[in-house]
Structure 1
Amino acid sequence: MKKQSSTMSNPLDRRSFMRGGLVAGGAAVMGAGLLNSSKQAVAQDYDSRRGLNRGDAAILRFLAAAELIESDLWTQYAELGGLTPGQKPVEDIPNFTPMNTYQGSLMALDSDGPQYITSNTLDEVSHAEFLNAYLVSKGADPVNLDQFRTLQGSKATGAKNIGRLTNLMHLNVDTSWFTRYRSTTNPDAGATFPQAVTITNRSAIPVTNADFNNPNHIQVIANIAAFHFGSIEAGGSSLYASMSQKVSSAEVLEITLGIGGDEIAHFLEWVDFAGNGCQTPVAPVTDNGLTFPNLFANPGTPEFQPNLIFPVPAEFISPNLPKCATIRPLTDKFAGPKAAVAALTGSGLFTGQSNGFFATLEILADQAEAASRF
């Protein structure tokens, strides 16, 4: 996508940043809203006795930025599709009435959908808060992206009129995660996978109240969201697994494995959730040229079987070893920070963001990818 011109008065200079960490010529560079304080961050030598070296700090900063981005997008989903404030979980209300037809369409995929969305949101917010607090506890600067909360979100009832980091209204959702986890081949070994459904430049949330009115229209929006949920959490699962291979500190490894495990738990729920959008009674459903088919109508194609939840055993490490069910991909090329930024950008999630925002993510990704446990 084309990056919009920056509105910042002091954009980051990438070369000087990479030469001196976040410090150019001995003075802290705070451009692009990257850091929360004026302490010299990367250029300082972290106290090894406190268990955080430069590489580990870079990994945690990138993960903190990723969690801030996830928190922003999930908050938008929760405002419109999560539990209505004050509601109890759906199963506690015998005659539960959805807040709106978007919430009702998400419930058509799973009656607990609003609860899952709210819970997923709370988890992501906790990840971002923990990672930043941990960085501070080790003498490192936290990541602050508030300067880039400038995007307009939904204007539908329930959405807050505040600036956003992410744009959920022009998404190109990569649905190949759906077929990848049903395949016996591995992307790290060069395998590619077809899209389960082709979703191009579509909104995953109601944009205005008019979107609530047509049943097929709002169900397709909910189905788009379901596949986007899976795409985001599949990427997070792979990212944490990739980063765990780079950390030096046992405590930082505990963090990446612990939070990464929660991302996997999220992903497995959304695998089932998205699959429900491609079988009866929801599918087939069509709106404005986009159809979610009943994938059970094509027997003999296991890569598209909608009721498969767990990863299928696939090639792992070597073709000479038995197939193994794993998270995949796991390598930097397909799952590392640069790959994550490229995937999120290509998905349209950052439509309308400034050059400074993209530069910030690029720098964070470069530094995290350069980290090594050796």
Structure 2
Amino acid sequence: MEHNAQRAQKEDIMAKNTQRSRYSTSRRSLLLKGLAVGGAGALGAGLLTNGVPAFAKERSSGITRGDVAILRFLAAIEILETDLWQQYNELGGIPDSEVPGGTASAPYVNALQQLDGDMSQYIHDNTEDEISHFTFINAFLASIGADPVNLDHFRNIPSSKATGARQIGRLTNLMELTVDTSWWTRYRSRNKNPDFGDTFAQAIPGLS
């Protein structure tokens, strides 16, 4: 009797482990497919083939409420990052048809170019990347019948009054942001290494 009970317990444990493994594989498969499609540059309209979302055929594999919650959380983070980078692009980036808004501030752009002559292009490209990230995730959520993320209701933080900035509601406060600019002095150092505990001065102390 005791032997049978132990055997039944082992079988129950094995069944639960198998179920957990399948669930983990399903989520891993979902994430890997997302990375594969994202890495191929299939964003926005690129998700669609003959009007059918690229992921729609995978619904049978079982996307759980937990999967959707993770994706919605990631989309929210990407929207917050986009809000921050858009403000930078308005002031020091390259406002254009790809990343519209703002007129740029010549003094700010000139100051950034003292650090890196390509900084404006870097800001522009990062902003465009962040936009594509949340657009991609929201497109996938919509394709599986889940609600995409929209944080417009929370855009109630005032804009910077600096020349070039649009006066619209924001999600992030650029004026109260602290930035670690020691990366610049760290990368230019010839005789120090952060892996050995060396510290580096801030390139722009007023931002830290």
Q: Distance in 2 between matches of 1:131 and 1:149?
A: 20
Is the contact made by 1:103 and 1:114 (CA closer than 8 Å) also made in structure 2? Answer: yes
2:162 is paired with a residue whose SS is coil
1:54 deviates by 1.3
Cross-structure match for 2:174: 168
Cross-structure match for 2:79: 68
Q: What pairs with 1:111-190 in structure 2 (closer than 5 Å)?
A: 111-173=117-179, 175=180
Q: Distance in 2 between matches of 1:85 and 1:157?
A: 17
Seq. identity, %: 51
Q: Distance in 1 between matches of 2:135 and 2:164?
A: 25
Q: What pairs with 1:292-331 in structure 2 (closer than 5 Å)?
A: 296=189, 299=191, 301-303=192-194, 304=198
Whose radius of gyration is greater, 1 or 2?
Answer: 2
Q: Distance in 2 between matches of 1:110 and 1:51?
A: 47
Cross-structure match for 1:58: 69
Structure 2 unaligned regions, length at least 5: 1-57, 98-103, 201-208
**Alignment size in residue pairs:** 134
CA root-mean-square deviation: 2.8
Residue identity in the other structure for 2:117? S
Distance 1:119 1:295, change over 3 A: closer
Structure 1 unaligned regions, length at least 5: 1-46, 87-97, 176-226, 228-273, 280-293, 307-374
Q: Distance in 1 between matches of 2:128 and 2:177?
A: 23
Q: Distance in 2 between matches of 1:159 and 1:51?
A: 45
1:154 deviates by 0.8
Q: Distance in 2 between matches of 1:302 and 1:54?
A: 45
Residue identity in the other structure for 2:160? S
Is the contact made by 1:84 and 1:99 (CA closer than 8 Å) also made in structure 2? Answer: no
Cross-structure match for 1:78: 89
1:172 deviates by 3.6
Higher helix proportion (structure 1 or 2): 2
Is the contact made by 1:296 and 1:305 (CA closer than 8 Å) also made in structure 2? Answer: no
Q: Distance in 2 between matches of 1:169 and 1:275?
A: 21
1:305 deviates by 7.7
2:149 is paired with a residue whose SS is coil
Distance 1:50 1:79, change over 3 A: farther
1:109 correspondence with 2:118: no
TM-score using structure 1 length: 0.33
Distance 1:111 1:295, change over 3 A: closer
Distance 1:85 1:138, change over 3 A: closer
1:106 deviates by 1.2
1:53 deviates by 1.4
Q: What pairs with 1:1-374 in structure 2 (closer than 5 Å)?
A: 48-49=59-60, 51-85=62-96, 99-173=105-179, 175=180, 227=181, 275-276=183-184, 278=185, 296=189, 299=191, 301-303=192-194, 304=198
Q: Distance in 2 between matches of 1:136 and 1:84?
A: 29
Residue identity in the other structure for 1:133? A
> Can you list the C-alpha shifts for 1:129-175, whole angstroms capped at 9, x where unaligned?
111111010011111111100001111121001000000111244x4
| Structure with higher RCO (Cα < 8 A, 6+ apart) | 1
> Can you list the C-alpha shifts for 1:281-334, whole angstroms capped at 9, x where unaligned?
xxxxxxxxxxxxx9849x4x411487xxxxxxxxxxxxxxxxxxxxxxxxxxxx
Is the contact made by 1:150 and 1:163 (CA closer than 8 Å) also made in structure 2? Answer: yes
